Amino acid sequence: MSAVPRASRGIRVSFEFFPPKTAEMEQSLWEAIARLAPLQPNFVSVTYGAGGSTRERTHATVRRILAETMLTPAAHLTCVAATRAEIDAVIAGYAEAGVRHIVALRGDPPAGAGERYVPHPSGYRNAADLVAGIKRHGDLEVSVSAYPEKHPDSPSVEADIDMLKAKVDAGASRAITQFFFENGLYLRYLDRVRARGINIPIVPGILPVQNFKTTKNFAARCGASVPDWLAERFDGLDDDAATRKLIAAAVAAEQVLNLVDHGVTDFHFYTMNRADLVYAICHLLGLRPSQQKTSAQVHVEKERA
């Protein structure tokens, strides 16, 4: 297994960030954006909290990306705990700001994952309904989620694929998967999706393990499995951050290069607002930075001066 230059494989990447809560987190976010922007990602997405809890911070982050970088932002949007009119106003606000790409998600209930989802009586029923609502606003690109191990609320993988089909029929043009650590899960899921006649890109979501305990808890809430071999690789490293980082880079690199060997060309990275591991993996994929500095880089350099 070997890294193959980007040009010969047509590798494309996208990066996911979350809106910062504090000034320190904001600095970390923009350092990550400045570091990753020269890799010229296909797009970058900004998450949207449960029940729209980060709405204003999401908008502010997206607006700044549009103003200070050459990146193409994709704004997340959920339909939890909001009326159609409220959601439609958010869509219109995104469009007015210059956003042409929305990641449409049902979203978790305001109380968090694990609680029963109940549609707002005057809102969009689910993600497929939301996609249709977004498409009524004009020629907006819509990405949606996909779940190789099924969404925690779905009774089966087949039911989950039914929902994906409904989202595609409503106008979605790309699906981004929940993160996974066993590539076989993704490849088998892809076979089942294609067998259902779903032909949009199913982009694997990759989560470099910044902190194993945090990742394990996150996976439990999302319904993603954590294999024993992964736990063994991080065993005994709770107090050894430097070695954890090396192991994390090796694990993620092994995963993405194996997917490249299986013909995968598009990857979506859950960055957790940190650039180091993601940048290293992208380098192995053959991506090289543009020599032109972005406004975000200049801004970060001024702050450091």
Catalytic residue list? 16
Cα separation, 137 vs 33, whole angstroms:
29
Give yes or no for a contact between 7 and 289, defined as CB atoms under 8 angstroms apart.
Answer: no
Distances (CA, A) of 89 to 73, 83, 86, 94, 134: 19, 10, 5, 9, 11
Cα separation, 81 vs 83, whole angstroms:
7
Q: Which two tokens stand for residue 197?
A: 């006649």
Closest to 105 measured CA to CA, from 37, 186, 183, 178: 178
Q: Which two tokens stand for residue 160?
A: 């989950």
What is the SS3 assignment for 164?
helix
**Helical H segments across the chain, by residue range:** 6-9, 23-36, 55-68, 84-97, 127-135, 157-170, 183-195, 212-222, 228-234, 241-261, 276-284, 295-304
Cα separation, 290 vs 294, whole angstroms:
9
Q: Which residues contact 246 (CB under 8 A, 6 or more apart)?
A: none
Q: Which two tokens stand for residue 283?
A: 């380098």
